[in-house]
Amino acid sequence: MTPLSRRELLRSAVLAGLALPVASACATPAGDGGTSSAPAAGATSAANPLGLAENRPLEIWIFDGGFGDAYATDIHEPLLKAKYPKLEIKHNATQEIAKTLQPRFAGGNPPEFINNSGANAMDFGALVQDGQLADLTPLYDAPSWDDPTVKVRDTIDPSAIELGSYDGTPYVLNYVNTVWGIWYSQKLFDDNGWRPPRTWEAFTALCEEIKKAGETAPFTYAGRHPYYIYEAILTLAAKIGGKDVLKNIDNLEEGAWTAEPVKQAAGAFAEIGAKYLMQGTAGLDHVQTQTAQNKGQVAMLPCGSWLENEQKDTTPEDFGYAMFALPSFTSSDAMPYGTLHVQPGEEYVVSAKSANPRAGMEYMRAMLSKDGAGDFMELVSTLTVVKGAGEGRTLKPGLKSAAKALLVAGDNAVWFLFRKWYAELHDEVAAASGQLMNGKLTVDEWAERAQKKAESIKNDSSVKKFKR
Amino acid sequence: MRFAVGFLVLPVTLYVIYVIAPYAQAFSIALTNWRGVNASPRFVGLENFRRLLEDTVFWKAVGHNLLLLVLLPVLTLVIALFFAFLLNAGGRGGAGGVWGSRFYRVVFFFPQVLAIAVIAVLFQQVFRPDRSGMLNAPLIAMGFEPIGFLSDTDIALWSILGVLVWQAVGFYVVLFSAGIASIPRELFEAAAIDGAGGPPMFFRITLPLLWDTIQVGWVYLGIIALDVFAIVWVMTPEQGGPDYSTTVMAAEIYRNAFEYSKFGYASAMGVVLFFFTIGFAALALRLSRRERIEF
């Protein structure tokens, strides 16, 4: 993300020059020793189900970004140390993951555990292709930290495993969770006796009531970034038509965008756009609309669970952030009330060719424990993929509300990946969605434009296609 | 002669390596489906150009560039000439500028001092569609609907044009002022004695004697109009939006190359832009071949 400055470029060029002979020097010995020590799964037992070797050190690299690295040193590492007092943990933190660690991989002595995140992360596809990442299936099949009768797999969101898989094999642990919904101020709603709506009819009725009251605009979104509204449209579409609606869209299937559920969802939000939008919405960005909400100028907006953190400087003391899942469109929706758009992120990997890979996996198992995840949530104010990790915790109101919504949703989680896979399609859908909300495009025109773009990407030989 | 050749070897070599060679390379990349990472891009012939013909967004961008190519020079030059005339020869009897002309000259030059990115961010605020917007606040206070200067697809391009003109006028006021100052004062005096008022003085004396300077200005502004990348990219929503209503060729090249990693396709766009620029330069040179007026 951050453009390379000239100084940085020169520095990294010098470093690369230095790193080469160093890397090649250690490549030979590590190459010999590495292969023999790689099948490092020791004896497994109920207390040590992954067969971690306590006599070899565990080297940990944390990306020192928005979450810092205190969560590792203060929460997860002590947790593991308490269980394996003889294990030596070597903690490291950096913002330059690729620059620091790529030579280690090239040299055949990679560290065990890496938080491969941030703008300078290593390319996952390349790591997978090289066989550098450990298959995490043993971890997911191991008994969970808290309850030996439940597998780790069943304590976390299934989307986290799916999103960390390459061609069906799980290599990457996505630890942090993001959920989307409609956000409001609990105080504003309480003062006016408004209730979060559970059906689309109740939602439009609430909008009407807020509009009539005249003090506050009912609804807004980040008009300059129409992603915020097409996210809501697609989540509603999945709720109406089921998970396959979004799967078809991601897979660039024929007629995925012109399918009835997608059109219904688009039509529903187009109506909100025509009747209940805050004045000037189209020209405002996310910070401006969110700040308007903090000032009580608008009641509701669609956003992700980072919202509370993002707005912490402008939120009034008693604002009370809260969110609700998209209301049911009709009683015959394919998915029940509470269906959420959920997207795990923040990637962690274990290197297959490290000296003690099972220790890295055991560390992940500790992260995925109730305590590990719950303490993490409190410390960095974000959701995790661990089910119910927020229970009984003192969380900020918005985070608490999001955690509750996530728990209610359970397996009714939906997501889409074309935004990552096909930036072109994202741009086109965003542009069209902005015009849909302004009333300059009809629902049919909107759907056709998205469909046309999807097809042109499908026919473009230069773009690599993905499937889910 | 030998000295000149020796002196030129280094700069010409650098120019060939860093300017001409990449241009030439763009032509060959335009015939591949290169995505910027793999070492051996696949040759696809004219596929990119065929695709380009059907790319409605790109042709929209071309249309916007052409519109700006006509309107930006015309508007800027007319306004700058008018101001320069008032500042230098607009006073009573053609002697000197209007009252306060020294002050205005400095003020008009201000926008030129600001970086393009600063101007773009500044005008985002000016155009804001809520009570914090400089233009919309009074409208809202008077009970009108705010105007979506940057969010209405029918208006956004005109807002861009407005900002470009605002930014460019100052420089040409100064340029034309210098031009007018070099016109012999006796010509104005003689015309004034013959009873010429402001308009005839402007059209019969100032304009013909400034013609050379105006042509230079036209070429400069034409080049600016074929770019416009920075203002569009920083100021508009969706970078060239809303809904591609303000996008320009340079923005589409950037988007396809650096956001979609379609370097082959972006190079094809670059080739088209290259021919537009060459065409404009040829046209400009042709039109400016004209007799000089000696004085």
pLDDT digits (tens, 9 = 90+) for B92-146: 555 566 777 778 888 888 888 888 899 999 999 999 988 888 898 898 888 888 8
* Cα separations in angstroms, B190 against B94, B179, B195, B200, B210: 10, 19, 9, 13, 18
A positions 212-231 inside 8 Å of B (CB): 223-226
Looking at residue A219, what is its pLDDT? 95
Say if residues A155 and A368 touch (Cβ distance below 8 Å). Answer: yes
Looking at residue A196, what is its pLDDT? 93
Say if residues A396 and A403 touch (Cβ distance below 8 Å). Answer: no
Answer yes or no: is pLDDT of B220 > 50: yes
**A392 lies in some domain:** yes
Residues of chain B with pLDDT > 70, as a percent, come to 92
In this structure, the answer to whether residues A320 and A374 fall within a common structural domain is no
Residue B25 to chain A, least CA–CA distance (Å): 19
Rounded to whole angstroms, how far apart are CA atoms A177 and A306? 10
pLDDT average, residue stretch B241-256: 91
**A282 lies in some domain:** yes
For the domain that residue A136 is a member of, what is the CATH number? 3.40.190.10
According to DSSP, the residues that pair with A92 across neighbouring strands are: A61
Split at pLDDT 50, 70, 90, the class of B198 is confident
Task: List pLDDT tens digits, range A365-389.
Answer: 999 999 999 999 988 888 899 988 8
Say if residues A383 and A178 touch (Cβ distance below 8 Å). Answer: yes
Rounded to whole angstroms, how far apart are CA atoms A234 and A261? 9
In this structure, the answer to whether residues A273 and A373 fall within a common structural domain is no
SS3 content of chain B, % helix, strand, coil (to 5): 70, 0, 30
Per-residue pLDDT of chain A (468 residues; tens, 9 = 90+): 344 444 444 444 444 443 333 333 333 333 333 333 444 566 777 778 888 888 899 999 999 877 889 999 999 999 999 999 999 999 999 988 888 888 888 888 899 999 998 777 887 877 887 788 999 999 999 999 998 999 999 999 888 898 888 888 999 999 998 899 999 999 999 999 999 999 999 999 999 999 998 889 999 999 999 999 999 999 999 999 999 999 999 999 999 999 999 999 999 999 999 999 998 898 888 889 999 999 999 999 999 888 888 888 889 989 999 999 999 999 889 999 999 999 888 899 999 999 999 999 999 999 999 999 999 998 888 889 998 888 888 888 998 899 889 888 888 989 998 887 888 899 999 999 999 999 999 999 999 999 999 999 888 877 778 888
Pairing of the two strands A298-304 and A217-219:
parallel
Q: Which of A369, A387, A406 is the last residue of a domain?
A: A406
Say if residues B145 and B138 touch (Cβ distance below 8 Å). Answer: no
Phi and psi, residue A388, nearest 5°: 65, 20
Least confident range from A21-25, A204-208, B192-196, B209-213: namely A21-25
Assign A322 to helix, strand or coil. strand
B35 and chain A: CB distance < 8 Å anywhere? yes
* Nearest chain A alpha carbon to B57: A428
Looking at residue B188, what is its pLDDT? 80
């990790």: which residue's tokens?
A389
ipTM of the complex: 0.81
Looking at residue A20, what is its pLDDT? 37
Instruction: Tell me which amino acid residue B134 is.
Output: M
Residue B96 to chain A, least CA–CA distance (Å): 45
Rounded to whole angstroms, how far apart are CA atoms A15 and A383? 37
Looking at residue B95, what is its pLDDT? 56
């306590």: which residue's tokens?
A54
Secondary structure of A89-135 as H, E, C letters = EEEEEECCHHHHHHHHHHHCCCCCEECCCCCCCCCHHHHHHCCCECC
* Nearest chain A alpha carbon to B54: A456
Answer yes or no: is pLDDT of B156 > 90: yes
Say if residues A396 and A381 touch (Cβ distance below 8 Å). Answer: yes
- CB–CB contact A285 B33 (8 Å): no
Say if residues A252 and A465 touch (Cβ distance below 8 Å). Answer: yes
B146 and chain A: CB distance < 8 Å anywhere? yes
In this structure, the answer to whether residues A290 and A361 fall within a common structural domain is no
Long-range contacts of A316-319 (CB under 8 A, 24+ apart): A318/A187, A319/A185, A319/A186, A319/A187, A319/A294
Residue numbers in B near A288 (CB within 8 A): 128, 130
Q: Which of A462, A463, A465 best probes binding to B when mutated, by most B CB atoms within 10 angstroms? A: A462
Looking at residue B292, what is its pLDDT? 59
Residue numbers in A near B262 (CB within 8 A): 462-463
Residue A138 to chain B, least CA–CA distance (Å): 34
Q: Which of A436, A409, A414, A421 is nearest to A230 (CA)?
A: A436
In this structure, the answer to whether residues A380 and A444 fall within a common structural domain is no
Burial of A334 (0-12, 13-18, 19+ CB in 10 A): middle
In this structure, the answer to whether residues A146 and A233 fall within a common structural domain is no
Rounded to whole angstroms, how far apart are CA atoms A364 and A175? 9
Rounded to whole angstroms, how far apart are CA atoms A37 and A356? 8
Instruction: List the domain range (segments joined by +) for residue A283.
Output: 199-336+417-458
- Which CATH code is given to the segment(s) B48-287? 1.10.3720.10
In this structure, the answer to whether residues A387 and A321 fall within a common structural domain is no
- CB–CB contact A282 B262 (8 Å): no
Rounded to whole angstroms, how far apart are CA atoms A215 and A297? 7
Assign A300 to helix, strand or coil. strand
In this structure, the answer to whether residues A239 and A359 fall within a common structural domain is no
The answer for residues whose C-beta is within 8 angstroms of residue B272's C-beta and 6 or more apart is B52, B62, B249
Looking at residue A210, what is its pLDDT? 92
Chain-centre distance for alpha carbon B172: 12
**A69 lies in some domain:** yes
Task: List pLDDT tens digits, range B34-49.
Answer: 876 666 678 888 888 9
Looking at residue B37, what is its pLDDT? 62
Task: List pLDDT tens digits, range A170-226.
Answer: 999 999 988 999 999 999 999 999 999 999 999 999 999 999 988 899 999 999 999
In this structure, the answer to whether residues A279 and A173 fall within a common structural domain is no
pLDDT average, residue stretch B218-245: 89
Pairing of the two strands A340-350 and A413-414:
parallel
Looking at residue A205, what is its pLDDT? 94
Domain parsing of chain B, residue ranges: 48-287
Looking at residue B106, what is its pLDDT? 83
Domains contained in chain A, number = 2
In this structure, the answer to whether residues A422 and A399 fall within a common structural domain is no
The b/e string for A352-372 (b: 16+ C-beta within 10 A; e otherwise) is bbbbbbbbbbbbbbbbbbbeb
SS3 content of chain A, % helix, strand, coil (to 5): 50, 15, 40
Answer yes or no: is pLDDT of B180 > 90: no
Q: Taking all residues of chain B, what is their mean pLDDT, rounded to a whole number?
A: 86
Say if residues B191 and B205 touch (Cβ distance below 8 Å). Answer: yes
In this structure, the answer to whether residues A444 and A306 fall within a common structural domain is yes
A426 and chain B: CB distance < 8 Å anywhere? no
In this structure, the answer to whether residues A350 and A331 fall within a common structural domain is no
Rounded to whole angstroms, how far apart are CA atoms A60 and A97? 12
Burial of B22 (0-12, 13-18, 19+ CB in 10 A): exposed
Q: Which of B46, B128, B238 best probes binding to A when mutated, by most A CB atoms within 10 angstroms? A: B238
B243 and chain A: CB distance < 8 Å anywhere? yes
**A10 lies in some domain:** no
In this structure, the answer to whether residues A283 and A425 fall within a common structural domain is yes
Chain-centre distance for alpha carbon B87: 24
CA max distance for chain B: 76
**A50 lies in some domain:** yes
Answer yes or no: is pLDDT of B80 > 50: yes
Start-end of H helices in A38-88: 70-71, 77-83
